[in-house]
Structure 1
Amino acid sequence: MSRRTSLFLTAFGVWSWIIWITFARNLWASDNAWDADGSPTSFFWVHLLLAVTSFVLGTIIGVIGWRGLRASRNREPAQ
């Protein structure tokens, strides 16, 4: 994997965490996420699942990018 691709994947992983943390905070504060009695609605559960899935995928993609960056530093220069 090229260094440029590795940087892109790492940046994507970081970006995913920034975006989805904001999304989760907004979800928690949303009136649509809670019933009148304070229990979570289906809106909450669906969007929480979306956020958790995105956290997991963003983390996996970021780790792949990070490993690519580490591998590109350890490579022998071409002769």
Structure 2
Amino acid sequence: MTLVLSILLLTNAIFAFMVWPQFMKRIAADDRSTDADGNRTKFYSVHRKLITIALILAGISGVAGVVGLIFG
């Protein structure tokens, strides 16, 4: 069971690290990310925070998956 959960956690981490940075590039290029003066908007800031949290959680999942594989 530990092996299955560890693989699931690692799969989640790999998927997140593949998807979220690409999504951030799309957010940064979106017209709603900057105002008329070229300053970043709340749209950009909120997405940046959400993506940062998602990547932190992915990192934790990755570490937990590796620990599970090694010590499980």
TM-score (norm 2): 0.93
Q: CA–CA distance in 2 between the matches of 1:39 and 1:7?
A: 42
Shift of 1:20: 0.5
Partner of 2:36, secondary structure, is coil
After TM superposition, the runs of 4+ consecutive aligned structure 1 residues lying more than 4 A away are none
1:44-55 to 2 correspondences below 5 Å: 44-55=44-55
TM-score (norm 1): 0.85
Aligned twin of 1:4: 4
Aligned length: 72
Report the identity percentage.
32
Shift of 1:64: 0.3
1 or 2, which has the higher helix percentage? 2
Q: Any stretches of 5+ residues in structure 2 without a counterpart?
A: none
Instruction: Kindly name which structure, 1 or 2, has the bigger radius of gyration based on alpha carbons.
Output: 1
Q: Which moved more, 1:1-10 or 1:47-56?
A: 1-10
C-alpha RMSD of matched pairs (Å): 1.1
Q: CA–CA distance in 2 between the matches of 1:40 and 1:30?
A: 11
Aligned twin of 1:62: 62
